[in-house]
């Protein structure tokens, strides 16, 4: 067993460059073509030993705002009990070690910079980081393939932050094929007050698109990525969930408009929203788009981040 005092893993947020959504399946899930792209907006998950012997392997979980106040309201919405996806990830790793009784109990600390319920898969990112951190802490010996399998059990979006980079997800989004892309892209994210529930956004989508076709990849998007061409990528960005998110949050339309007016190469709702994402030409342009968004008063905060970046990494 380890002699470490703590293990910390840093994990990126994602933005979907394409999110094509099929009709609801009989099991309630949707078939997706989901082009994930990891961006340099990171949560950190730290595992330490715990004194108490809890029912499970996770004796406690704390959440902090890593941005120095910018995400205080977001952090307050994160559950600190066994329903937290990072705690569930820890329990899953413990089970592979023979059950919670077979491993010393741990505490998890999440330091969040990824908006909560913002369509950037922050909870899934924390779960991926907790898988990696607990694997190290308990010397569980799980391979990358093992971790990817556990990730798929936790949720459709948990496998991608283990890989990072850019990848196409099919099925429920969990079957991943990495995409080589030589470019570095400069993004702006407009954060909104209050989250949007992913299941509610999918339900609105089902209402709006009862005739949704089988989702297909977009050759133009893949060509833009292969060429590292930001302008072409900006024109190809797409999100089938955007009309549903806009129906639930009509005010996001003005946020998108504001980014377009500031010259963004592409403007779209990130995943299930309400975060809006903008592709900029350069780091300076990203800073200018972010300033325009903040000055408009139409978003809570605007942050810049480049992509892509590697997945969950011990620090
Ligand atoms: P996705 O894009 O994967 O649907 P999201 O980015 O919209 O997710 P999350 O930040 O993952 O949303 O949070 C969704 C909900 O999950 C939150 O409202 C919260 O109740 C719950 N949750 C569970 N674990 C976590 C976690 N570690 N961090 C944030 N939220 C969590």
**pLDDT by residue for the chain (315 residues), tens digit each?**
547 899 999 999 999 999 999 988 888 889 999 999 999 999 999 999 998 877 899 999 999 999 998 899 999 999 999 999 999 999 999 999 998 889 999 999 999 999 998 999 999 999 999 999 999 999 999 999 999 999 999 999 999 999 999 999 998 877 899 999 898 999 999 999 888 999 999 999 999 998 999 999 999 999 999 999 999 999 999 999 999 999 999 999 999 999 999 999 999 999 999 999 999 999 999 999 999 999 999 998 999 999 999 999 999
Tell me the C-alpha distance between 77 and 71, whole Å: 10
Task: Let me know if 112 is a catalytic residue.
Answer: no
| CA-CA-CA-CA dihedral for 241, 247, 251, 254, to nearest 10 | 60
Q: How far apart, in whole angstroms, are the C-alpha atoms of residue 252 and residue 245?
A: 8
Phi-psi region of 103 (alpha: psi -120 to 50; beta: other; left: phi over 0): beta
Quote helix, strand, coil % in the chain, to nearest 5. Answer: 35, 30, 35
pTM of this structure:
0.95
Confidence (pLDDT) at 194 = 86
**Can you name the residues that pair with 42 across neighbouring β-strands?**
12
Choice from 46, 65, 76, 122 to test ligand 1 binding pocket (greatest atom count within 8 A of CB): 122
Fold held by 185-307: Alpha-Beta Plaits (3.30.70)
- Residue spans of the domains in the chain: they are 7-18+38-168, 185-307
> Is 157 one of the annotated active-site residues of the chain?
yes
Tokens linked to 78: 């994160």
Catalytic residue among 31, 43, 157, 240: 157
CB 233 within 8 A of CB 266: yes
Q: Which helix (H) or strand (E) holds 238?
A: strand 238-239
DSSP helix/strand/coil, 143 = coil
Number of other CB atoms surrounding residue 109 within 10 Å: 17
| Sequence ranges of the binding site | 115-125
What is the residue with the minimal CA distance to atom 8 of ligand 1?
Answer: 121
Long-range contacts of 81-85 (CB under 8 A, 24+ apart): 82/56, 82/58, 84/108, 84/110, 84/123, 84/126, 85/123, 85/124, 85/126, 85/127, 85/130, 85/154, 85/155, 85/158
Closest approach atom of ligand 1 to CA 156: 3
Distance CA 212, CA 191 (A): 29
Residue 283, Cβ neighbours under 10 Å: how many?
12
155 lines ligand 1 (CB under 6 A): no
Quote the distance between the C-alpha of residue 145 and its chain's center: 20
Q: What is the DSSP letter of 97?
A: T
The total of other beta-carbon atoms located within 10 Å of residue 141's CB is 9
**Ligand 1 contact via 275 beta carbon (within 6 Å):** no
The verdict on the CB of residue 239 being under 6 Å from ligand 1 is no
Residues tagged in the binding site annotation for ATP: 115-125
The whole-angstrom separation of Cα 161 and Cα 151 is 9
Q: Which of 286, 151, 218 is nearest to 164 (CA)?
A: 151
Segment 294-298 long-range contacts (CB within 8 Å, at least 24 positions apart): 296/254, 296/255, 296/258, 298/190, 298/251, 298/254, 298/255, 298/258
Specify the residue with its C-alpha closest to ligand 1, atom 29. 123
The helix/strand/coil state of 255 is helix
The CA distance from 298 to 155, in Å, is: 32
- Asked if residue 78 has its Cβ within 6 Å of ligand 1, the reply is yes
Choosing among 3.30.420.480, 3.30.420.40, 3.50.50.60, 3.30.230.10, the CATH entry for 7-18+38-168 is: 3.30.230.10
Q: Residue 183 has what pLDDT? A: 87
Q: Which entry of 14, 31, 43, 240 is annotated as an active-site residue? A: 14
- Of ligand 1's listed atoms, the one at least distance from the Cα of 116 is 10
Place of tokens 């949720």: 155
119 C-beta closer than 6 A to ligand 1: yes
Atom number in ligand 1 closest to CA 86: 27
Does residue 271 line the site of ligand 1, with CB under 6 A?
A: yes
ipTM of the complex: 0.94
């Amino acid at each position: 067993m380890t002699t470490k005092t703590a293990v910390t893993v840093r994990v990126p947020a994602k933005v979907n460059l394409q999110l094509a959504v099929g009709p609801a399946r009989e099991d309630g899930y949707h078939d997706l073509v989901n082009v994930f792209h990891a961006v340099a907006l990171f949560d950190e998950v730290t595992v330490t030993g715990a004194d108490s012997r809890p029912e499970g392997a996770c004796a406690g979980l704390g959440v902090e705002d890593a941005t120095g106040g910018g995400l205080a309201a977001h952090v307050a919405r994160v559950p600190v009990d066994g329903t937290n996806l990072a705690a569930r990830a820890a329990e899953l790793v413990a089970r592979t070690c023979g059950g919670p009784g077979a491993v010393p109990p741990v505490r998890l600390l999440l330091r969040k910079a990824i908006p909560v319920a913002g369509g950037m898969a922050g909870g899934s990112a924390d779960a991926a980081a907790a898988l990696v951190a607990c694997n190290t802490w308990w010397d569980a010996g799980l391979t990358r393939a093992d971790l990817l399998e556990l990730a798929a059990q936790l949720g459709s979006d948990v496998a991608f932050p283990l890989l990072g980079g850019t990848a196409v997800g099919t099925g429920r989004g969990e079957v991943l094929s990495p995409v080589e892309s030589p470019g570095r892209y400069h993004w702006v994210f407009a954060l909104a007050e209050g989250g949007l529930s992913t299941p509610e956004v999918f339900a609105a989508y089902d209402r709006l698109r009862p005739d949704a076709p089988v989702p297909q990849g977009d050759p133009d998007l893949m060509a833009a990525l292969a060429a590292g061409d930001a302008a072409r990528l900006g024109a190809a960005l797409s999100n089938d969930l955007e009309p549903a998110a806009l129906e639930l949050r009509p005010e996001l339309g003005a946020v998108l408009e504001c980014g377009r007016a500031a010259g963004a190469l592409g403007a779209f709702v990130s995943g299930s929203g309400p975060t809006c994402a903008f592709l900029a030409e350069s780091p300076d342009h990203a800073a200018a788009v972010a300033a325009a968004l903040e000055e408009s008063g139409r978003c809570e905060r605007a942050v810049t981040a480049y992509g892509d970046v590697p997945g969950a990494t011990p620090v």
